[in-house]
Amino acid sequence: MRSARILLVVLGLGLLAVGGVVLLQDVNPKRYLGILTWFVGALIIHDVVIAPLVFLVTLVGRRLQHRIPAAVLAIVYGALAVGGIVTLLVVPEILKKRIGVASSSILPLDYGANLAVFWAAIIVLTALAVLLYRAMARSVQKTRSPSTQS
């Protein structure tokens, strides 16, 4: 296990070095400040928003673990992960559209409304997946239990 960790650290450092070389060779130095700002923003969003939310969801999930089946928690965790990733991808478009763009064809959609519709769909589909799981679990439980018919 230790050798695998060392290999992963070395691989990660190698990829970081390649990224640094590519940055220095291919990116105009005038853009460094914007890239640095993006990295700092991503770090702040991760440490201030994402990490505490993941911690809270995990804490609630562990407290409910004895009352809610693990498969249901996995369905909810999966839905939250997908929703979170899509939200992280769409929020920059929402912010840029508020700031304004040179042409209305660059960001033509109402990304805020689309994100709200997406979250509504995630909630509905998650609820349906949980209901389907519970129905299947009951069906399996009925087939395993001995028949009471005479």
Dist. CA 1–CA 7, nearest whole Å: 10
Q: Report the distance separating Cα 22 and Cα 11, nearest Å.
A: 16
Considering the entire predicted model, what is its pTM? 0.68
* Domain extent listing, the chain: 31-143
| Tokens read off for 83 | 């929703």
pLDDT tens digits for range 56-67: 988 988 888 888
Using pLDDT thresholds of 50, 70 and 90, give the confidence band for residue 38.
confident
The H or E element that residue 110 is part of is none
Give one word for 78, left, alpha or beta, with left for phi > 0 and alpha for psi -120 to 50: alpha
With a cut of 70, say whether residue 49 has pLDDT above it.
yes
Q: How does pLDDT run across 16-31, given as a tens digit for each residue?
A: 999 999 999 999 999 9
Residues 93-141: tens digit of each pLDDT: 898 888 888 888 888 999 999 999 999 999 999 999 999 999 999 998 8
